[in-house]
Chain A
Amino acid sequence: MFLFSRFFEELIFTRRFSGKSSKGFKMSISRANDLRLPLMNLIRLKGTPILEQLHLEERLLRASSENWCIVNDGTNVPTIVMGMSGKPSQLLELGPVMKDQIPVIKRFTGGGTVIVDKSTLFVSLICNKDDVPGVQPYPRSVMAWSGSLYGEVFGGVNGFQLRENDYVFGDRKFGGNAQSIIKNRWIHHTSFLWDYNVRNMAYLKLPSRVPQYRLERDHTEFVCRMKDYIERSDFIEKTVKAVGKQFAMKQVNLEDIDSYAKGEHVKSTRLLTMEELQEAMSGTTQSA
């Protein structure tokens, strides 16, 4: 406490005698406050392909030691994204998927299958466990933290809650989330259904493992559109603001990533080949 006060006094002294105005004084307070918070690098993307986004996330999780918030405002083409253990034959209507050449990705985090497109909003948070005290590096603890964070974002929107690990308004899911936890870090990432094409939902089978609150509803009865509840830009800014209450935010350009994440790392996110999908459909392999 003494050291913090002394630092603050020196900052004010410097500002005053450098001829800065009271605005400089206010900036000193803000910067002094930020110095007490762990740093969070913010990357803002728009229309970045989801495969590229996931590769970036896996790289930052495994090869960087800093905290990251990645916001991608939509992706370029409709793409199916499965969790680490997902089996295409069980989760996808493979005939239409292959006929329509929908890309299928297997990501490095757990969780279920989503189909994303330009209407989807992505928010990913990569954190050092020591920078989020009070949160244990286990799934439910991380999710309780994220549920609280998004509770701030959606404060005032009726019915928002984290329900059986899904983000819902009432009993309708609007955000699919997943996580990966490594030694001292974790990622929690979400695809928010701003809007969706009903036709795209037809590529997905009803999964065998569903939350209880889903009952037996099909996709169109189970999910809802976030645009019916909040403005798109409002959501993005409120999310950044909510994260900014716990971290000192610093915007980073994608072009500068190399300086933050160096060296080799395990790369498990990948695009499934047409051959793998065909084999899955014919039942000749269980590995894809």
Chain B
Amino acid sequence: MALRMWASSTANALKLSSSASKSHLLPPFSISRCFSSVLEGFKYANSHEWVKHEGSVATIGISDHAQDHLGEVVFVELPEEKSSVTKANNFGAVESVKATSEIISPISGEVIEVNTKLADSPGLINSSPYEDGWMIKVKPSNPAELESLMGPKEYTKFCEEEDAAH
């Protein structure tokens, strides 16, 4: 079973590599690893969501590592504008490969915008996890929560250790 999982992971990596030409879609300051990309300037949760904090707005999505492991996303359930999200609690779900998977909010705050494109194009989460696949924009209620999130290098190491453990 371990060999099958390794083979599956390798196949996915090759698929990523062969379609890595889409890496031109990623900003030039990305850290590119064998299996997934991690961007500078973002913060990451151990549940694989990312946060991009700009001024009073924090944009949230799921990482390239997460979308790769989830498989093709076919449906996304997101909260409504003006609802609240709470750090470490789920705010929505994605469906992929017959599974619903919770999305956990890395910070607390008020939802000020939802990516409505994901309703018709959930695959944006796979093709552009850090740009067009963003999920919600939040007005943080406690910006200090961002301090406890991982930076790019820490998150990269976290992903490598998590994959190596299985």
List residues of chain A with CB under 8 Å of any chain B CB: 83-85, 108-112, 133-145, 148, 165, 177-183, 186, 209
Contact = CB atoms under 8 A, between A and B. Distances in A.
Contact of B166 (A134, A148, A180): A134
B8 A138 contact: no
Contacts of A83: 95, 98
The 6 closest A-B pairs by CB, nearest first: A111-B98, A85-B75, A179-B99, A139-B99, A139-B97, A138-B69
A134 to B, nearest CB: 5
Contacts of A111: 98-99
Interface of B: 1-2, 4-5, 8, 47, 69-71, 74-75, 77, 90, 93, 95-102, 104, 162-163, 166
Contacts of A141: 5, 69, 166
A135 B166 contact: yes
A114 B123 CA distance: 25
Given A144-B4, A144-B5, A182 B75 contact: no
Contacts of B102: 181-183
Given A84-B93, A85-B74, A144-B4, A136 B162 contact: yes
A181 B1 contact: no
A111 B8 CA distance: 21
A190 to B, nearest CB: 11
A142 B97 CA distance: 11
Contacts of A112: 98
Contacts of B166: 133-136, 141
Contacts, number: 85
Contact of B99 (A110, A135, A145): A110
Contacts of B8: 140, 144
Contact of B97 (A108, A134, A148, A165): A165
A144 B104 contact: no
Interface of A is mostly: loop
B47 A139 contact: no
A137 B5 CA distance: 13
B98 A139 contact: yes
B103 to A, nearest CB: 11
B111 to A, nearest CB: 18
A251 B39 CA distance: 48
A110 B1 contact: no
Contacts of B98: 83, 109-112, 139, 143, 165, 177-179
A206 B135 CA distance: 31
Contact of B75 (A84, A136, A137, A181): A84
15 contacts: A83-B95, A85-B75, A109-B99, A110-B75, A110-B96, A110-B97, A112-B98, A139-B96, A178-B98, A178-B99, A180-B99, A180-B101, A181-B101, A182-B90, A183-B102
Nearest to B5: A144
Contacts of A109: 98-100
A111 B75 CA distance: 11
Contacts of B5: 141, 144
A118 B162 CA distance: 42
Given A110-B99, A179-B98, A181-B101, A139 B70 contact: yes
Interface-centre pick from B2, B47, B71, B93 (highest chain A CB count, 10 A): B93
Contacts of A85: 74-75, 95
B74 A144 contact: no
B101 A145 contact: no
A200 B80 CA distance: 38
B123 to A, nearest CB: 12
Nearest to B76: A85
Nearest to A136: B166
Interface-centre pick from A84, A110, A179 (highest chain B CB count, 10 A): A110
B70 A84 contact: no
A134 B74 contact: no
Contact of A181 (B4, B100, B162, B163): B100
A139 B101 contact: yes
A84 B95 contact: yes
A111 B99 CA distance: 6
A110 B102 CA distance: 12
Contacts of B70: 138-139
Contacts of B97: 110, 139-140, 143, 165
